Structure 1
Amino acid sequence: MLVVLFVLMEEHMPDTGWASVSTPYVRPRRPGEADAWTEEAAAHGHVGTNRLRGVEEASPPREVAEVLDLGPEGTAVIRRRLVLLDGRPTELADSYYPASIARGTRLAEERKIPGGALTALAELGHRPHTAEESVTARPSTKPEQDALDIQPEDWVMVLTRVLRTDTGMPIEATVMTMVADGRELRYRMIINEEI
Protein backbone atom coordinates (compact mmCIF):
# COMPACT_ATOMS: atom_id res chain seq x y z
CA MET A 1 0.00 0.00 0.00
CA LEU A 2 1.30 3.48 -0.88
CA VAL A 3 0.71 6.31 1.54
CA VAL A 4 1.17 9.92 0.50
CA LEU A 5 2.94 11.66 3.35
CA PHE A 6 3.38 15.13 1.95
CA VAL A 7 2.36 17.12 -1.09
CA LEU A 8 4.46 20.08 -2.14
CA MET A 9 2.82 22.67 -4.35
CA GLU A 10 5.00 25.06 -6.29
CA GLU A 11 3.63 28.18 -7.91
CA HIS A 12 5.85 29.58 -10.63
CA MET A 13 5.60 33.35 -10.77
CA PRO A 14 5.72 34.92 -14.24
CA ASP A 15 8.92 36.54 -15.46
CA THR A 16 10.90 35.83 -12.27
CA GLY A 17 11.90 32.16 -12.27
CA TRP A 18 10.50 32.19 -8.73
CA ALA A 19 8.92 28.98 -7.48
CA SER A 20 6.67 29.52 -4.47
CA VAL A 21 6.24 26.55 -2.12
CA SER A 22 2.95 26.12 -0.24
CA THR A 23 4.30 24.43 2.91
CA PRO A 24 4.95 27.67 4.90
CA TYR A 25 1.38 28.78 4.15
CA VAL A 26 -0.25 25.81 5.88
CA ARG A 27 1.52 25.92 9.25
CA PRO A 28 1.27 28.27 12.23
CA ARG A 29 4.13 30.76 12.51
CA ARG A 30 6.66 30.82 15.35
CA PRO A 31 6.73 33.83 17.71
CA GLY A 32 8.29 36.81 15.96
CA GLU A 33 8.25 35.09 12.55
CA ALA A 34 6.90 37.16 9.65
CA ASP A 35 3.89 35.91 7.73
CA ALA A 36 4.73 33.46 4.95
CA TRP A 37 4.09 35.89 2.09
CA THR A 38 6.21 38.70 3.56
CA GLU A 39 9.02 36.25 4.26
CA GLU A 40 8.92 34.59 0.86
CA ALA A 41 8.76 37.83 -1.13
CA ALA A 42 11.70 39.25 0.87
CA ALA A 43 13.76 36.13 0.14
CA HIS A 44 13.37 36.96 -3.56
CA GLY A 45 14.15 40.67 -3.21
CA HIS A 46 10.54 41.84 -3.25
CA VAL A 47 8.03 43.32 -0.85
CA GLY A 48 5.00 41.14 -0.16
CA THR A 49 2.09 42.65 1.73
CA ASN A 50 -1.57 41.97 2.46
CA ARG A 51 -4.30 44.58 2.68
CA LEU A 52 -7.28 43.54 4.78
CA ARG A 53 -10.42 44.26 2.74
CA GLY A 54 -12.90 43.33 5.44
CA VAL A 55 -14.01 40.86 8.09
CA GLU A 56 -17.59 39.70 8.56
CA GLU A 57 -19.72 36.83 9.77
CA ALA A 58 -22.03 35.65 7.01
CA SER A 59 -23.31 32.65 5.08
CA PRO A 60 -20.47 31.53 2.79
CA PRO A 61 -20.93 30.34 -0.80
CA ARG A 62 -22.53 26.87 -0.99
CA GLU A 63 -19.26 25.14 -1.95
CA VAL A 64 -17.45 26.62 1.05
CA ALA A 65 -20.33 25.79 3.42
CA GLU A 66 -20.14 22.17 2.22
CA VAL A 67 -16.39 21.75 2.77
CA LEU A 68 -16.65 23.39 6.20
CA ASP A 69 -19.59 21.10 7.13
CA LEU A 70 -21.68 24.14 8.09
CA GLY A 71 -25.13 22.95 7.08
CA PRO A 72 -27.78 25.16 5.44
CA GLU A 73 -28.01 27.69 8.29
CA GLY A 74 -24.31 27.77 9.24
CA THR A 75 -22.22 30.91 9.09
CA ALA A 76 -18.53 31.58 8.78
CA VAL A 77 -16.19 34.37 9.76
CA ILE A 78 -14.79 35.64 6.47
CA ARG A 79 -11.48 37.48 6.23
CA ARG A 80 -10.97 39.13 2.83
CA ARG A 81 -7.49 40.25 1.75
CA LEU A 82 -5.78 41.79 -1.25
CA VAL A 83 -2.30 40.31 -1.71
CA LEU A 84 0.30 42.64 -3.19
CA LEU A 85 3.78 42.14 -4.61
CA ASP A 86 5.86 45.33 -4.70
CA GLY A 87 2.64 47.30 -4.29
CA ARG A 88 0.88 45.64 -7.24
CA PRO A 89 -2.20 43.45 -6.75
CA THR A 90 -1.52 39.79 -7.44
CA GLU A 91 -4.27 37.89 -5.63
CA LEU A 92 -7.59 38.13 -3.79
CA ALA A 93 -7.67 35.78 -0.79
CA ASP A 94 -10.91 35.10 1.08
CA SER A 95 -10.54 32.85 4.12
CA TYR A 96 -13.56 31.26 5.81
CA TYR A 97 -13.63 29.91 9.38
CA PRO A 98 -16.60 28.15 11.00
CA ALA A 99 -18.26 30.79 13.17
CA SER A 100 -18.51 28.23 15.97
CA ILE A 101 -14.73 28.39 16.43
CA ALA A 102 -13.96 31.92 15.15
CA ARG A 103 -16.70 34.09 16.65
CA GLY A 104 -15.39 36.30 19.46
CA THR A 105 -11.73 35.55 18.67
CA ARG A 106 -8.99 37.50 16.90
CA LEU A 107 -10.17 35.83 13.69
CA ALA A 108 -13.36 37.90 13.85
CA GLU A 109 -11.62 41.22 14.49
CA GLU A 110 -11.12 43.64 11.62
CA ARG A 111 -7.36 43.93 11.99
CA LYS A 112 -4.28 41.96 11.04
CA ILE A 113 -3.43 38.99 13.24
CA PRO A 114 0.17 38.78 14.47
CA GLY A 115 1.52 35.48 13.18
CA GLY A 116 -1.50 35.06 10.90
CA ALA A 117 -4.80 33.22 11.14
CA LEU A 118 -3.25 29.74 11.38
CA THR A 119 -1.33 30.82 14.46
CA ALA A 120 -4.58 32.09 16.00
CA LEU A 121 -6.31 28.80 15.15
CA ALA A 122 -3.47 26.80 16.74
CA GLU A 123 -3.70 28.93 19.88
CA LEU A 124 -7.41 28.03 20.01
CA GLY A 125 -6.48 24.33 19.87
CA HIS A 126 -7.14 23.84 16.14
CA ARG A 127 -3.85 22.91 14.48
CA PRO A 128 -3.95 22.16 10.76
CA HIS A 129 -3.02 18.58 9.92
CA THR A 130 -4.05 18.11 6.29
CA ALA A 131 -4.47 20.46 3.33
CA GLU A 132 -6.59 19.75 0.27
CA GLU A 133 -6.33 21.97 -2.80
CA SER A 134 -8.24 22.34 -6.02
CA VAL A 135 -7.38 24.63 -8.92
CA THR A 136 -9.59 26.03 -11.67
CA ALA A 137 -9.26 28.77 -14.29
CA ARG A 138 -12.02 31.01 -15.60
CA PRO A 139 -12.66 34.45 -17.13
CA SER A 140 -12.31 37.28 -14.60
CA THR A 141 -15.32 39.18 -13.26
CA LYS A 142 -15.60 42.98 -13.25
CA PRO A 143 -14.91 43.27 -9.48
CA GLU A 144 -11.83 41.04 -9.91
CA GLN A 145 -10.62 43.14 -12.84
CA ASP A 146 -10.94 46.29 -10.75
CA ALA A 147 -9.25 44.82 -7.65
CA LEU A 148 -6.44 43.04 -9.52
CA ASP A 149 -5.94 45.76 -12.17
CA ILE A 150 -6.44 43.35 -15.07
CA GLN A 151 -8.25 43.63 -18.39
CA PRO A 152 -11.74 42.24 -19.20
CA GLU A 153 -10.21 39.57 -21.45
CA ASP A 154 -7.87 38.33 -18.70
CA TRP A 155 -8.48 35.05 -16.93
CA VAL A 156 -7.92 34.22 -13.29
CA MET A 157 -6.70 31.07 -11.62
CA VAL A 158 -8.68 30.07 -8.50
CA LEU A 159 -6.99 27.90 -5.89
CA THR A 160 -9.20 26.63 -3.06
CA ARG A 161 -7.45 25.21 0.00
CA VAL A 162 -9.21 23.41 2.87
CA LEU A 163 -7.36 22.77 6.12
CA ARG A 164 -8.44 20.06 8.57
CA THR A 165 -7.29 18.99 12.03
CA ASP A 166 -5.96 15.50 12.77
CA THR A 167 -9.56 14.46 13.57
CA GLY A 168 -10.72 15.58 10.11
CA MET A 169 -12.54 18.69 11.35
CA PRO A 170 -12.42 21.50 8.76
CA ILE A 171 -11.05 24.70 10.26
CA GLU A 172 -10.32 26.93 7.26
CA ALA A 173 -11.28 27.23 3.61
CA THR A 174 -9.40 29.82 1.57
CA VAL A 175 -10.33 30.85 -1.96
CA MET A 176 -7.40 32.53 -3.72
CA THR A 177 -8.20 34.30 -6.98
CA MET A 178 -4.92 35.00 -8.77
CA VAL A 179 -3.81 36.86 -11.83
CA ALA A 180 -3.35 33.90 -14.20
CA ASP A 181 -0.87 35.43 -16.63
CA GLY A 182 2.12 33.11 -16.84
CA ARG A 183 1.44 31.17 -13.63
CA GLU A 184 1.94 27.46 -13.45
CA LEU A 185 1.16 25.12 -10.56
CA ARG A 186 3.15 21.94 -10.02
CA TYR A 187 2.56 19.30 -7.38
CA ARG A 188 5.22 16.93 -6.10
CA MET A 189 4.41 14.06 -3.75
CA ILE A 190 6.64 12.31 -1.28
CA ILE A 191 5.40 8.73 -0.90
CA ASN A 192 6.00 6.28 1.90
CA GLU A 193 5.96 2.78 0.46
CA GLU A 194 5.80 1.05 3.83
CA ILE A 195 2.59 -0.48 5.23
Structure 2
Amino acid sequence: MPRPYTDPRTAHQKIAAKLRRQITRGDLRPGDALPSTPALMEEWGVAGTTVQKALLMLKEEQLLVGKRGKGVYVQGGTQQSISPMAYMAPAGAGESYRWLTEATKRSQRGTVELLNVEVVTPPFEVRQALGLAEDGQALLREQILSLDAEPTELTRSYYPLALAEGTAMMDRRKIKGGTPTLLAEKGYPPREFVDEVSSEIPTEDEVVALELPKDMPIMLTFRVVYSDDERPIEVSLLAKAAHKYRARYRLKVA
Protein backbone atom coordinates (compact mmCIF):
# COMPACT_ATOMS: atom_id res chain seq x y z
CA MET A 1 0.00 0.00 0.00
CA PRO A 2 1.47 3.38 -0.98
CA ARG A 3 2.37 5.62 1.92
CA PRO A 4 0.25 8.77 2.25
CA TYR A 5 1.57 11.89 0.60
CA THR A 6 -0.01 15.29 -0.05
CA ASP A 7 0.88 17.64 -2.92
CA PRO A 8 2.78 20.46 -1.18
CA ARG A 9 2.23 23.01 -3.95
CA THR A 10 -0.05 26.00 -3.60
CA ALA A 11 -3.51 25.91 -5.17
CA HIS A 12 -2.56 28.23 -8.03
CA GLN A 13 0.47 26.06 -8.87
CA LYS A 14 -1.75 22.97 -9.02
CA ILE A 15 -4.25 24.70 -11.30
CA ALA A 16 -1.47 25.95 -13.59
CA ALA A 17 0.07 22.47 -13.70
CA LYS A 18 -3.18 20.85 -14.86
CA LEU A 19 -3.88 23.50 -17.48
CA ARG A 20 -0.27 23.41 -18.69
CA ARG A 21 -0.45 19.65 -19.20
CA GLN A 22 -3.71 19.98 -21.14
CA ILE A 23 -2.05 22.54 -23.41
CA THR A 24 1.26 20.75 -23.98
CA ARG A 25 -0.45 17.41 -24.67
CA GLY A 26 -3.01 18.85 -27.07
CA ASP A 27 -6.23 18.62 -25.02
CA LEU A 28 -6.41 22.41 -25.17
CA ARG A 29 -5.35 23.82 -28.54
CA PRO A 30 -4.29 27.28 -29.74
CA GLY A 31 -7.36 29.46 -30.03
CA ASP A 32 -9.40 27.50 -27.49
CA ALA A 33 -11.10 29.59 -24.82
CA LEU A 34 -10.48 28.68 -21.19
CA PRO A 35 -13.41 28.29 -18.80
CA SER A 36 -14.35 31.57 -17.13
CA THR A 37 -12.81 32.59 -13.83
CA PRO A 38 -16.05 31.82 -11.94
CA ALA A 39 -16.14 28.37 -13.54
CA LEU A 40 -12.54 27.66 -12.52
CA MET A 41 -13.26 28.98 -9.03
CA GLU A 42 -16.13 26.52 -8.71
CA GLU A 43 -14.16 23.62 -10.19
CA TRP A 44 -11.23 24.07 -7.84
CA GLY A 45 -13.00 25.54 -4.83
CA VAL A 46 -10.70 28.57 -4.69
CA ALA A 47 -10.92 32.36 -4.72
CA GLY A 48 -10.72 34.42 -7.89
CA THR A 49 -7.27 35.75 -6.95
CA THR A 50 -5.95 32.17 -6.89
CA VAL A 51 -7.28 31.51 -10.38
CA GLN A 52 -5.75 34.75 -11.64
CA LYS A 53 -2.34 33.82 -10.21
CA ALA A 54 -2.51 30.48 -12.05
CA LEU A 55 -3.44 32.14 -15.32
CA LEU A 56 -0.67 34.71 -14.91
CA MET A 57 1.91 31.92 -14.62
CA LEU A 58 0.77 30.47 -17.95
CA LYS A 59 0.67 33.89 -19.60
CA GLU A 60 4.29 34.42 -18.56
CA GLU A 61 5.09 31.07 -20.19
CA GLN A 62 3.37 32.33 -23.38
CA LEU A 63 0.86 29.49 -23.22
CA LEU A 64 -2.15 31.75 -22.59
CA VAL A 65 -3.19 35.20 -23.75
CA GLY A 66 -5.90 37.47 -22.38
CA LYS A 67 -8.27 39.24 -24.77
CA ARG A 68 -9.93 42.27 -23.22
CA GLY A 69 -13.66 41.77 -22.85
CA LYS A 70 -13.52 38.25 -24.34
CA GLY A 71 -11.63 36.03 -21.91
CA VAL A 72 -8.43 33.99 -21.82
CA TYR A 73 -7.33 31.86 -24.76
CA VAL A 74 -4.68 29.25 -25.45
CA GLN A 75 -1.75 30.84 -27.26
CA GLY A 76 0.94 28.17 -27.11
CA GLY A 77 0.61 24.71 -28.56
CA THR A 78 1.80 21.20 -27.91
CA GLN A 79 5.46 20.66 -27.21
CA GLN A 80 7.64 20.38 -30.29
CA SER A 81 9.45 17.08 -30.68
CA ILE A 82 13.11 17.28 -31.62
CA SER A 83 14.81 14.08 -32.77
CA PRO A 84 18.51 13.95 -31.77
CA MET A 85 19.25 11.36 -34.47
CA ALA A 86 18.45 13.92 -37.18
CA TYR A 87 21.42 16.08 -36.12
CA MET A 88 24.15 13.52 -35.53
CA ALA A 89 25.42 12.72 -39.03
CA PRO A 90 27.93 15.20 -40.48
CA ALA A 91 26.54 17.58 -43.08
CA GLY A 92 27.22 16.69 -46.69
CA ALA A 93 29.68 18.57 -48.85
CA GLY A 94 28.63 22.22 -49.13
CA GLU A 95 25.63 21.73 -46.85
CA SER A 96 24.78 23.90 -43.85
CA TYR A 97 24.79 22.80 -40.23
CA ARG A 98 22.03 20.23 -39.71
CA TRP A 99 20.20 22.43 -37.19
CA LEU A 100 19.54 24.83 -40.07
CA THR A 101 18.59 22.25 -42.70
CA GLU A 102 16.30 20.31 -40.35
CA ALA A 103 14.51 23.54 -39.40
CA THR A 104 13.90 24.27 -43.08
CA LYS A 105 12.32 20.83 -43.51
CA ARG A 106 9.80 21.80 -40.81
CA SER A 107 9.15 25.19 -42.46
CA GLN A 108 10.98 26.94 -39.63
CA ARG A 109 13.93 29.32 -39.65
CA GLY A 110 16.88 28.01 -37.69
CA THR A 111 19.71 30.24 -36.51
CA VAL A 112 22.91 29.67 -34.57
CA GLU A 113 24.61 32.27 -32.38
CA LEU A 114 28.13 31.50 -31.21
CA LEU A 115 28.53 32.79 -27.65
CA ASN A 116 31.96 31.65 -26.57
CA VAL A 117 35.03 29.67 -27.63
CA GLU A 118 37.78 29.03 -25.08
CA VAL A 119 40.05 26.44 -23.55
CA VAL A 120 38.75 25.52 -20.10
CA THR A 121 38.97 22.96 -17.34
CA PRO A 122 35.61 21.20 -17.88
CA PRO A 123 33.15 20.15 -15.17
CA PHE A 124 33.81 16.87 -13.37
CA GLU A 125 31.49 14.62 -15.40
CA VAL A 126 32.82 16.04 -18.69
CA ARG A 127 36.42 15.32 -17.62
CA GLN A 128 35.40 11.78 -16.74
CA ALA A 129 33.72 11.20 -20.10
CA LEU A 130 36.72 12.57 -22.02
CA GLY A 131 39.21 10.67 -19.86
CA LEU A 132 40.91 13.85 -18.62
CA ALA A 133 42.93 14.32 -15.47
CA GLU A 134 41.63 16.47 -12.62
CA ASP A 135 43.25 19.58 -14.12
CA GLY A 136 42.83 18.47 -17.75
CA GLN A 137 41.61 20.97 -20.30
CA ALA A 138 39.30 20.88 -23.31
CA LEU A 139 37.92 23.27 -25.89
CA LEU A 140 34.51 24.72 -25.06
CA ARG A 141 32.20 25.96 -27.82
CA GLU A 142 29.00 27.54 -26.49
CA GLN A 143 26.05 28.38 -28.75
CA ILE A 144 22.39 29.37 -28.74
CA LEU A 145 20.26 27.52 -31.28
CA SER A 146 16.98 29.21 -32.20
CA LEU A 147 13.85 28.35 -34.15
CA ASP A 148 11.86 31.22 -35.67
CA ALA A 149 13.83 33.72 -33.55
CA GLU A 150 12.95 31.91 -30.32
CA PRO A 151 15.91 30.62 -28.26
CA THR A 152 15.50 26.86 -28.24
CA GLU A 153 18.70 25.24 -26.99
CA LEU A 154 21.79 26.36 -25.11
CA THR A 155 24.63 24.05 -26.13
CA ARG A 156 27.94 23.75 -24.31
CA SER A 157 30.16 21.33 -26.21
CA TYR A 158 33.62 20.19 -25.08
CA TYR A 159 36.28 18.71 -27.38
CA PRO A 160 39.66 17.07 -26.66
CA LEU A 161 42.45 19.55 -27.36
CA ALA A 162 44.32 16.87 -29.33
CA LEU A 163 41.51 16.97 -31.89
CA ALA A 164 40.74 20.68 -31.78
CA GLU A 165 44.18 22.33 -31.87
CA GLY A 166 45.22 23.58 -35.27
CA THR A 167 41.66 23.54 -36.62
CA ALA A 168 38.92 26.14 -37.17
CA MET A 169 37.28 24.83 -33.99
CA MET A 170 39.70 26.98 -31.99
CA ASP A 171 38.53 30.16 -33.70
CA ARG A 172 35.59 32.25 -32.52
CA ARG A 173 33.61 31.79 -35.71
CA LYS A 174 31.01 29.44 -37.08
CA ILE A 175 32.09 26.31 -38.91
CA LYS A 176 30.50 25.40 -42.24
CA GLY A 177 28.52 22.22 -41.61
CA GLY A 178 29.30 22.34 -37.88
CA THR A 179 31.96 20.60 -35.80
CA PRO A 180 30.72 17.07 -36.69
CA THR A 181 31.64 17.75 -40.32
CA LEU A 182 35.06 19.11 -39.41
CA LEU A 183 35.83 16.15 -37.14
CA ALA A 184 34.68 13.71 -39.81
CA GLU A 185 37.01 15.37 -42.31
CA LYS A 186 39.87 14.87 -39.82
CA GLY A 187 39.08 11.15 -39.64
CA TYR A 188 36.87 11.16 -36.55
CA PRO A 189 33.29 10.61 -37.75
CA PRO A 190 30.57 10.15 -35.12
CA ARG A 191 29.71 6.46 -34.77
CA GLU A 192 27.65 6.37 -31.58
CA PHE A 193 26.25 8.69 -28.96
CA VAL A 194 24.92 8.17 -25.45
CA ASP A 195 22.32 10.55 -24.00
CA GLU A 196 21.36 10.98 -20.37
CA VAL A 197 18.27 13.19 -20.14
CA SER A 198 17.15 14.80 -16.90
CA SER A 199 14.87 17.55 -15.63
CA GLU A 200 16.88 20.24 -13.88
CA ILE A 201 16.41 23.56 -12.11
CA PRO A 202 18.08 26.06 -14.50
CA THR A 203 21.08 28.15 -13.58
CA GLU A 204 20.95 31.92 -14.06
CA ASP A 205 22.80 31.81 -17.38
CA GLU A 206 20.35 29.19 -18.69
CA VAL A 207 17.34 31.29 -17.64
CA VAL A 208 18.78 34.33 -19.42
CA ALA A 209 19.91 32.50 -22.56
CA LEU A 210 16.61 30.64 -23.02
CA GLU A 211 14.44 33.53 -21.77
CA LEU A 212 12.69 31.23 -19.30
CA PRO A 213 9.75 32.22 -17.13
CA LYS A 214 10.07 31.99 -13.36
CA ASP A 215 10.12 28.51 -11.79
CA MET A 216 10.35 26.68 -15.13
CA PRO A 217 12.68 23.63 -15.24
CA ILE A 218 14.82 22.69 -18.22
CA MET A 219 15.33 19.44 -20.05
CA LEU A 220 19.08 18.83 -19.79
CA THR A 221 20.82 16.30 -22.03
CA PHE A 222 24.30 15.07 -21.19
CA ARG A 223 25.63 13.65 -24.46
CA VAL A 224 28.84 11.77 -25.19
CA VAL A 225 29.72 11.24 -28.86
CA TYR A 226 32.11 8.44 -29.81
CA SER A 227 34.10 7.84 -32.99
CA ASP A 228 35.90 4.68 -34.06
CA ASP A 229 37.32 2.45 -31.31
CA GLU A 230 34.87 4.11 -28.88
CA ARG A 231 37.01 7.22 -28.73
CA PRO A 232 35.08 10.14 -27.15
CA ILE A 233 35.25 13.13 -29.49
CA GLU A 234 32.63 15.42 -27.98
CA VAL A 235 30.76 15.87 -24.70
CA SER A 236 27.82 18.28 -24.67
CA LEU A 237 25.37 19.73 -22.20
CA LEU A 238 22.19 20.65 -24.08
CA ALA A 239 19.55 22.71 -22.26
CA LYS A 240 16.01 23.22 -23.58
CA ALA A 241 12.87 24.82 -22.11
CA ALA A 242 10.99 21.86 -20.61
CA HIS A 243 7.52 23.26 -21.29
CA LYS A 244 8.12 23.79 -25.02
CA TYR A 245 10.24 20.92 -26.29
CA ARG A 246 10.60 17.19 -25.92
CA ALA A 247 13.18 14.71 -27.25
CA ARG A 248 12.06 11.91 -29.55
CA TYR A 249 14.04 8.67 -29.81
CA ARG A 250 13.13 5.86 -32.15
CA LEU A 251 15.17 2.72 -31.49
CA LYS A 252 14.87 -0.74 -32.95
CA VAL A 253 14.42 -3.59 -30.46
CA ALA A 254 16.54 -6.62 -31.24
TM over 0.5: yes
Q: How many Å separate the matches in 2 of 1:21 and 1:138?
A: 20
Q: How many Å separate the matches in 2 of 1:152 and 1:139?
A: 11
Which of the residues 123, 133, 136 maps onto 1:74?
A: 136
Which of the residues 119, 128, 140 maps onto 2:181?
A: 119
What is the identity, as a one-letter code, of the residue corresponding to 1:133?
D
Q: How many Å separate the matches in 1 of 2:240 and 2:83?
A: 16
What is the identity, as a one-letter code, of the residue corresponding to 2:170?
A
Q: Could you say what secondary structure the match of 2:94 adopts?
A: coil
Structure 1 residue 20: Cα displacement: 2.7
| Coordinate RMSD, CA, aligned | 1.8
TM-score by length of 1: 0.86
More helix by share: 2
Q: Percent identity?
A: 34
Q: Which residues of structure 2 form unaligned runs of 5+?
A: 1-24, 26-75
What is the identity, as a one-letter code, of the residue corresponding to 2:218?
V
Contact 1:92/1:177 (8 A) holds in 2: yes
Q: How many Å separate the matches in 2 of 1:23 and 1:139?
A: 26
Which of the residues 172, 190, 193 maps onto 1:131?
A: 193
Q: Which residue of 2 aligns with 1:5?
A: none
Q: Which residue of 2 aligns with 1:87?
A: 149
Matches within 5 A, 1:41-190: 41-190=103-252
Structure 1 residue 150: Cα displacement: 1.0
Contact 1:118/1:127 (8 A) holds in 2: yes
Q: Could you say what secondary structure the match of 1:189 adopts?
A: coil
After the TM superposition, which parts of structure 1 deviate over 4 Å for at least 4 consecutive aligned residues? none
Q: Which residues of structure 1 form unaligned runs of 5+?
A: 1-11
What is the identity, as a one-letter code, of the residue corresponding to 2:179?
A
Structure 1 residue 17: Cα displacement: 7.0
Structure 1 residue 123: Cα displacement: 1.3
Q: How many residues align?
A: 180
Q: How many Å separate the matches in 1 of 2:212 and 2:253?
A: 39
Q: Could you say what secondary structure the match of 1:110 adopts?
A: coil
What is the identity, as a one-letter code, of the residue corresponding to 2:127?
A
CA displacement, residues 8-64 of structure 1 (integer Å, 9 cap, x when unaligned): xxxx9x836754322231111111212111111111111011100010011110110
Structure 1 residue 161: Cα displacement: 1.3
More strand by share: 1
Contact 1:142/1:152 (8 A) holds in 2: no
Q: How many Å separate the matches in 2 of 1:20 and 1:145?
A: 20
Structure 1 residue 104: Cα displacement: 2.1
